[in-house]
Chain A
Amino acid sequence: MSKYLDLDIRKIHELLVKKEITPLDLVDEALSRIEENKDLNAFITINDKVREEASELGEVDPDNLFFGIPIAVKDNIVTKDLKTTCASHILENFIPIYDATVVEKIRENKMLIIGKTNMDEFAMGSTSETSYFGAPLNPHDKKRVSGGSSGGSASAVSGGLIPLALGSDTGGSIRQPASYTGIVGMKPTYGRVSRYGLVAFASSLDQIGPITRTVYENASLLNVLVGEDDRDLTSVKKDKEDFTRLIGEDIKGLRIALPKYFVSDIVDEEISKRIKEVISFCDKNGAVVDIVDMQYLDTAVNLYQIIAMAEASSNLARFDGVRYGFRASDVNSVDEMYGKTRGEGFGDEVKRRIMVGSYILSGENAKTYYDKALMVRDDITKEFNRIFKEYDLIIGPTTTRVAPLLGNSKDDPHKAFMDDVLVIPVNMAGLPGLNVPVGKNSEGMPIGLHIIGKAFDEATIYKLASFLEEVF
């Protein structure tokens, strides 16, 4: 079997332009790799029309970098005529009748959707173990999780099954699995990418982003995904820019902040050590790295549990068996249908979060918890803005530990949230954040660096990330 998919995307493109290979060659290679690595459980659905789509493309001249490149899409992003399950029993056989905006963009650029990737049910989880279809595995160690909730996308890219994937990030769901599996994952600024067609978990936090093998490929894919969308009022109008434009520049003069909390004792020693190596490397190359105090970072998990659960309890109310998806049988009333459909259709973690969210919004609790959380959320944003007055970037580890073993956090729902303790603050402030791998620990498990930028300054993040990617 050929190894075209392992080549840099620019090289693949060149071969396509020269007609040395065809999109169908790439699709066939991806399909056979997926088949060979079935045990990774990275995909929920394979697009059975993808070979046909690839054949049709073969007759068009490659018009852009992504022409004919296979891509995987997280299964909470709707794809017309292609099953979209959100890894849930309640949508197990749901076939959407429209494309998400990002999917339209992917199709416009003639990428080929190979299939839909595994994930935590409705993106609720940190290990993808809440999937109705079982957890995807970490290609670096199949006894370990690939992270979550975009675990399938991370597993597929990390395992070399596919060069590109889309994920979604509500509280670290792109960056954390990217860190656990040693690849590049970007959560763009809130509003950068249209959410239209992303099945909502927590609307004020959700953002779609690219998951790739390299920084350049990540920035290039982001170029395709962004843009204001009439169908998403929270999307933001910005001038067109090339996110790869600073890649290759040196980092001299770059001002970088490292919050104390990010290297406190909550972080594994080996990871802390590696972060310090990264810092001294930056230092050596002319960047200024300061350790700073930042307030409220430690409140982020609590805020997440309040805000995300509250929004989720409302967002998931539409899954009731009336219009689409699973409907329980043997019911005698509408209320019984609601109860049974949702009781049987949702998994435990989803039900737990709906219950917590409903409780948080109920009566006076809305003031006690929800309104207060929104105030603290504002404070976090202000705190980030304060730091960004003096610094260009904030860095830290993406996770406090390397990918845990399967089953490790299943018995303790609260513990699972701690996997995202370092990445959640970024969602609260709506900022862009990226994971770039910076080597492995003694067990051979990837360690990830988290780079946070100013709102809409993804380009500077990519600049530092690509500089480090060359070395670590």
Chain B
Amino acid sequence: MSNYIPTIGLEVHVEIKSKSKLFSDSANAYGMATNTSVNVIDLGYPGTLPTLNKEVIRQALRACKVLNCDITRKMHFDRKNYFYPDNSKNYQITQNRTPIGTNGYVEIEVDGVKKKIGISDIHIEEDTCKSAHRGSVSLLDFNRAGVPLIEIVTTPSISNGKEAMAYLTKLKEMLFYANISDCKMEEGSMRCDANVSISKTDVLGVRTETKNIGSIHNVGLAIEKEIERQEKVLETGGIIREETRRFDDKLGETILMRVKETGNDYRYFIEPDIPYLELTDEFINDSLKTLPLLPDELKKKYSEIGLSSLQIEKLINNRPSNDYFLGLLEFKTNYVTAVNLLLSDISSYLNKHNKVITDTHLSYEKLVSVVDALEKGELSNKNVKDLIDSLMERDLTLEELKKEFNIKNITDDSFIKDIITKVIENNSESVNDYKSGHDRALKYLMGQVMKETKGAVNPKKASDMLVKELNK
């Protein structure tokens, strides 16, 4: 049964971040009260005409760049005609013949193997209303009508659920980092349909489309289940029909929605209300100028400055910390120590108080002074823990805080020396062990020093001094 080769293609709809809708000036905002971000254009009122939001074109250009697509310079919009209550004009304005981007790819890595997933096209289109069904009535929310979308269509170059998941994870990460979309599948700002077929030969099998799968995990699952189902059907002498399915995550399988009839006839034609658009170099360059660093570029940059792969991963998964850290690179300091701070004490503080770093009093200068103090042994990790609330909340320098918290003794050699002397006196057995070559004794003694100082000394400094005293 397993000698079938699956062929998978994904169609991903992503809502574009923009102030207003694609063809009208109502706000493009999620979560507003029902039918409050609506005007006559969104309602498809008689006599209304679309305008074109240039901001969306810029965002789509950025998506083209991120996904390595060729940019279509002269393009137009098309009407896709079909009747459905959530489709206010009963045609959707989309790009059929001249998608803004073509011929791109996304590089993924699965089990250590790199692979390019082809993007056949990216096109701009408008979203439909959101419908809610209550018994025998259906309710429509036009807030979503006309929200800008890009649809990203892959070539049939995906081989299994794992690759699909890797592709979606990468896509989401990139579009999110490029500020193109929120990419929240749970809020519907990223939606995925999976086309799956299997075949034993070079001739592709009949494909099914599983629509609107709710999470990246479920896309992987749905694809594997659909492959299994198709194999079972074919092995028991059945045939696969062209059909639309959905994934039921409770049952863990795909369910038939409808069998496709002889090819959809959308009666596409060029949208006569929007003139052809010719993109100039200036417009394109201007749009791409604001594109931030993307995860792959960040990874490269971070490993060059010596961050560990774990740090890099954590940082990239924490967008606000990452963006803050990028700003820190303008300053000279120990970045490894800084990232550790960002991902530990600072992150805990932010999570606990539900804040973003830019809303605190932790300026770059202040953070650099903390990192430098740690490096010089003028400050211990324990000190940082004690100081963190004040560092974040108060407009005082590190020096001022140290004074207030009475943190000054730890670099005082005589203070440390007194403690070491005390420890050596009280642990003569361990001292003897050390002297007869048992290294573990040093660790024990060091532990005692840290205990006595409540961790408020620089461990390296204390350790150096301890060894020096023991060797006297």
Contacts and interface: CB of A to CB of B under 8 A. Distances in A.
Interface of A: 77-78, 84, 86, 91, 94, 96-98, 100, 195-200, 202-204, 230-234, 310-311, 313-314, 317-320, 322-324, 334, 338, 358, 361-363, 366, 370
Given A361-B269, A366-B267, A197 B85 contact: no
Contacts of B268: 361, 366
B265 interface: yes
Contacts of A324: 43, 45-46
B141 to A, nearest CB: 13
B44 A98 contact: no
**CB-based closest 3 A-B pairs:** A317-B90, A361-B267, A203-B272
B46 A199 contact: yes
Contact of B45 (A98, A195, A361): A98
B72 to A, nearest CB: 19
Interface string B25-63: 000000000000000100111111111100000000000
B88 interface: yes
Contact of B47 (A200, A317, A319, A322): A200
B81 interface: yes
A362 B265 contact: yes
B89 interface: yes
A206 to B, nearest CB: 9
Nearest to A334: B85
Given A96-B45, A322-B85, A358-B267, 5 more contacts: A203-B273, A233-B49, A234-B273, A322-B88, A323-B88
A196 B52 CA distance: 14
A234 B83 contact: no
A363 B269 CA distance: 11
B324 interface: no
B49 to A, nearest CB: 5
A96 B46 contact: yes
26 contacts: A84-B46, A91-B46, A94-B46, A196-B48, A198-B47, A200-B273, A230-B51, A231-B49, A233-B274, A234-B273, A310-B269, A311-B269, A314-B91, A317-B89, A317-B90, A318-B44, A319-B46, A320-B85, A323-B44, A324-B43, A324-B46, A361-B267, A362-B267, A363-B263, A363-B265, A366-B267
Interface residues of B, number: 30
Contacts of B47: 77-78, 96, 100, 196-200
Given A78-B47, A366-B267, A234 B90 contact: no
Given A338-B83, A361-B268, A97 B40 contact: yes
Contacts of B46: 78, 84, 86, 91, 94, 96, 199-200, 318-319, 324
Contacts of A78: 46-47
Q: Is the interface of B mostly helix, strand, loop or mixed?
A: loop
Interface of B: 40, 43-52, 79, 81, 83, 85, 88-91, 138, 140, 263, 265, 267-269, 272-275
Nearest to A335: B83
A362 B81 CA distance: 10
A198 B48 CA distance: 8
Nearest to A338: B83
A200 B47 CA distance: 6
Nearest to A78: B47
Contacts of A230: 51
A64 B268 CA distance: 47
A204 B272 CA distance: 6
Nearest to A337: B85
A320 B273 contact: no
A366 B269 contact: yes
A366 B140 CA distance: 32
Nearest to A200: B47
A233 B50 contact: yes
Nearest to A365: B267
A383 to B, nearest CB: 21
Contacts of A232: 49, 273
Nearest to A91: B46
Given A78-B46, A96-B47, A196-B47, A314 B273 contact: no
Contacts of B81: 313-314, 317, 361
Given A78-B46, A196-B47, A318 B272 contact: no
